[in-house]
Amino acid sequence: MPGDQTRHDLTRLVPVVRRAGLDHSLFTQYWADVHGPMCAAIPGIDLYRQFHLDSPRSHDWITAPSVDTTVPDDERIDGAAQCAFVNREDFDRWLTGTAVLADDERNGFDGTYGYYALGATGHLGADAPHAVGGTSMLVLIRRRAHADTGAFRSFIRDTLMTTLLGSGFVSNVSGHLLEPYEEHESHWQADALDNRVPAELQHHAALHVSCENMLAWRRLLDTDQFGSTAVLQSELFSAVHVYPVRSAITFVHDGAITLEGRRGRSTAELIRRIGAVNAE
């Protein structure tokens, strides 16, 4: 579709579940201030972004009744990380330095689930250079078991993305068409964590949709153009899970570590608030 572009041969999308008993605010702080800079510092990564999520909303998507928009409690996630690499060599180089990262996961997570998207065929839209303001949603889509993979991907790329971008209510859409999880899960094994997704619970696409505000999002859902996609959704999708994005934090962009990547989100915010140029 128009606007598709990527410099990445491989992208790793990682939905995460916070550690049981860990307060949500402490989890958010640890992930953004400790784990994030730790990941950003490992050589090889070209883009690293965290999506901190609120509770899923079953009413914030329009589709046919046969498509499940309610997320069961045992499937809920608390966030997702996007890690992208220019080529396989960079990815392999990054992997060699991730032992400390995998070991740290036990401090904040009970589950991390690493999906992969490959090259231009797995990339949708154009990533914003930094977090997009306003309202945004992370939309995870599960393909219906009998649906053709090619038809599923074509519908998302050529119809759904075009409808969203052409609505007049969406400021940016990016996302990924995900490879079957079991083909790549051996790349990541963190002790004491859940790292596996059963076939029936896997997602097959992820979209990050940004609007100016919640009113724009609701108006998008009310458009005839968006409503007209419901029939094909029912044929191709078994579930659509919509999570409001509380914050999207970029730690690495185009291979350069951001202030958040160097210092953590809280310190970066403090530096900007008081204008501490010498602390950057």
DSSP 147-179: S-HHHHHHIIIIIIHHHHHTTSSEEEEEEEEPP
**For 115-152, how does the pLDDT look when each residue is reduced to its tens digit (9 = 90+)?**
999 988 899 987 765 555 689 999 999 999 999 999 99
**For 213-239, how does the pLDDT look when each residue is reduced to its tens digit (9 = 90+)?**
999 999 999 999 999 999 999 999 999
At 124, give phi and psi (nearest 5°): -125, 130
For the entire predicted model, the pTM comes to 0.93
> What's the domain range around 217?
10-279
* Helix spans in 200-250 (H): 214-222, 224-227, 230-236
- Tokens representing 278 are 């010498």
Does residue 1 belong to any structural domain of this protein? no
Model pLDDT, residue 191: 62
The arithmetic mean of pLDDT across residues 259-273, rounded, is 94
Does residue 2 belong to any structural domain of this protein? no
Rg for the chain, CA atoms, rounded: 18
Does residue 88 belong to any structural domain of this protein? yes
Domain count, the chain: 1
Query: By the 8 A CB rule, do 252 and 261 touch?
Result: yes
Does residue 235 belong to any structural domain of this protein? yes
Which of the four pLDDT bands, split at 50, 70 and 90, describes residue 109?
A: very high
Q: Where are the beta strands (DSSP E) in the chain?
A: 10-18, 47-53, 79-85, 109-112, 115-118, 123-125, 135-143, 170-177, 205-211, 237-253, 256-257
Q: What Cα–Cα distance (Å) separates residue 266 from each residue in 16, 168, 248? A: 21, 34, 14
Does residue 17 belong to any structural domain of this protein? yes
Which of the four pLDDT bands, split at 50, 70 and 90, describes residue 180?
A: confident
Q: Is residue 144 exposed (0-12), middle (13-18) or buried (19+ Cβ within 10 Å)?
A: middle
What CA–CA distance (Å, rounded) separates 193 from 17? 10
- Tokens representing 105 are 């996961």
Maximum CA extent, the chain: 58
What CA–CA distance (Å, rounded) separates 241 from 43? 33
Does residue 74 belong to any structural domain of this protein? yes
Does residue 117 belong to any structural domain of this protein? yes
| Percent with pLDDT over 90 in the chain | 80
Model pLDDT, residue 2: 45
Q: What Cα–Cα distance (Å) separates residue 61 from each residue in 75, 210, 223? A: 18, 14, 12
Does residue 118 belong to any structural domain of this protein? yes
Q: 265: domain CATH number?
A: 3.30.70.100
